[in-house]
Amino acid sequence: MAEALAQAAVHDNWRSSYLFAAERESTTQSTKTIPEILEEIHDDRKAKTAAKKRQGSHDKINYANQWAVSESNLEQKTAEMINATVYFTAAVQRPPKQESHHLPS
């Protein structure tokens, strides 16, 4: 909790307006998973570069509002979030930069 408060105190507030807008436009009817949404972003050239500039926030909202969590599916969505984190963390590894699990001899 203290870390979250510290982060909130030192970071810009632009994320809150973006997240509140995404929440207002979201639908709890979405059946898309996080990896499916990430694949759509990967295929969308405009969305892929939107993180580099403040413009294009509506495009970001269109992706963010496709994933919603309700009280009834909280446990399932938490598991999906953990799974997606492992998926995209493992997917970004490149052979020369892979973490070695071998102990030095």
pTM for this structure? 0.63
- Residue 70's SS3 state is coil
**pLDDT at residue 1, as a whole number:** 77
What Å distances lie between residue 15 and 19, 21, 48, 96, CA to CA? Answer: 6, 10, 18, 34
Whole-number Å distance between alpha carbons of 67 and 23? 9
Task: Give the end-to-end CA distance of the chain in Å, rounded to a whole number.
Answer: 42
Mean pLDDT per 10-residue interval, the chain, length 105 residues = 80 76 75 86 79 61 83 91 86 68 56
Q: Which two tokens stand for residue 55?
A: 């413009």
Whole-number Å distance between alpha carbons of 105 and 99? 17
**pLDDT at residue 78, as a whole number:** 93
**pLDDT at residue 30, as a whole number:** 72
**pLDDT at residue 39, as a whole number:** 87
